[in-house]
Chain A
Amino acid sequence: MNTYPMKLVTIVCEAYAQDTVTKLLNEVGAHGWTLFAVEGDGSQGKRPADIKEFANIQIEAVVQPEVADKLLERLANDFFPRYAMIAFESEVRVLRREKF
């Protein structure tokens, strides 16, 4: 079966950043995303997710490589200084290239 190279961008951030991050995903041209609640610990302290103020989410989007570049750049410039957040990209292969 034919598969095509794409980038998977993973963003782990505080729950309060959800709306602004998903808005950004739209802006840079991601065609979809998946979100789930997670817990963790990092440089900005434990996030035990007991109340929303300390909840963490993970957002994943499969995008074209140039969209991934744009997305990571915007995240680094506008979001990292403000929110508790990490982001990284990885190589994935997809079916149905036109979906992304």
Chain B
Amino acid sequence: MDILDAIHANLLSPAVLFFGLGLVAALTKSDLKFPEPLYVALTIYLLLAIGFKGGVAIAEAGIEKVWLPALAAMALGALIPLWTYPVLRFGGKFSAVDAAAIAAHYGSVSAVTFIAATNYLKAINQPFENYATAFLAVMESPAILVGVVLGKMATKSKGGSDFSSIKTAIHEALFGRSIFLLVGALIVGWLCGKPGMDKVEPFFVTPFQGVLALFLLEMGTVAGRRVGDLKKVGPFLLAFGIVMPLLHGGIGVWLGKVAGLELGGATLMGGLAASASYIAAPAAIRLSLPDANPTFYLTSSLAITFPFNISLGIPIYYEIARWLYR
């Protein structure tokens, strides 16, 4: 299977097609709109379901298999902002606080990109480590904290204000709804193990693909409504939103291999490194770095990187992994 076949197979999955349908709905100004509480409810379901499944997988595989690649994933998440920051600051001429905010988003991860990657691997019958959800869980916060510290260092001279304290950032990065649900469900799944899974399977596993399709339809409309903002962010961020994921995807796959993962797990690690957060990071950054312009980080992660990853990125990371594992 060459790369074009891989991309083709990915584009014809229900999840990606529904995302495209959502985009079309927004671009054609259809009146399709999900109420905000439904978006929140779908997010909660997806995070609980993958967290729980991942926790059960850790119980089955044993923690001794998981900790090393999880540590590698965590380190990668924390390190990504350290090189994306100078690229944005000096290459893209962004203000220090904007560069720090965008860097935090690209170091942090997107759960739905991760789910799309596992779906892709299932569709092409490529086995993968189910406990990879643990990497997703540990990669979410470190980059946000690093990004906030970078941004604070840059804006300190202007006189700090109490309402954008580092404490807010830490609280939001560790207890924000997405990280809280994911880590919480992971622990619950880990404690329950397989017998617990048997009890909740009809709710968390069987309808999962349908809920995901619904969520991606919504994400398509959300991303589509931001298309107008692409003009505001400029060509640099547009290129950044595609080139950085490719670079990070490659690094993630390589790191996965070094940490001892199989081909499937390394592909997932690549997808995680390539993804940009649009739930946990925006909330934490808006509260702790209010001087950063949300149009930049939201548009790049939501309207550029997320669509790129779920359509073309994931099959490309898989091909990189296949090449590395030859």
Q: Which residues of A contact B278 (CB under 8 A)?
A: 53
Interface flags, B28-71, vs A, CB<8A=1, else 0: 00000110100110000000000000000000000000000000
Interface positions, chain A 17-61, Cβ under 8 Å from B, are 17, 19-20, 23, 45-46, 48-53, 55
Q: Please measure, in the bound complex, the distance between the C-alpha atom of A81 and the C-alpha atom of B295, giving whole angstroms.
A: 15
Q: Give the distance to chain B from A39, nearest Cβ to Cβ, in Å.
A: 10
Q: Are A82 and B291 in contact (CB under 8 A)?
A: yes
Report whether B225 and A50 are in contact in the complex, using a CB–CB cutoff of 8 Å.
Answer: yes
State whether A53 and B295 are in contact (beta carbons under 8 Å apart), knowing that A23-B163, A45-B229, A48-B225 are contacts in the complex: no
**B283 located at the interface, meaning its Cβ lies under 8 Å from any Cβ of chain A in the complex:** yes
Q: Which residues of chain A have C-beta atoms less than 8 A from B163's C-beta?
A: 20, 23, 78
Q: What's the minimum C-beta distance from A4 to chain B, rounded to whole angstroms?
A: 32
A49 to B222, CA, bound (A): 10
A100 at the interface (CB under 8 A from B): no
A53 touches B294 (CB 8 A): yes
Q: How many residues of B contact A (CB 8 A)?
A: 22
A53: chain B residues within 8 A (beta carbon): 278, 282-283, 286, 294, 298
Min Cβ gap B208→A in Å is 21
Residue pair A52, B229 in contact (C-beta under 8 Å): no
A59 CB to nearest chain B CB (Å): 15
CA distance A78 to B34 in the complex (A): 34
| Best-buried of B36, B222, B229, B282 by chain A (most CB within 10 Å) | B36
Asked whether A45 and B222 contact (CB < 8 A) given A16-B286, A78-B161, the answer is no
CB closest residue in chain B, given A48: B225
Chain B 279-311 interface 0/1 with A at a Cβ cutoff of 8 Å (1 = within): 000110011001100110010000000000000
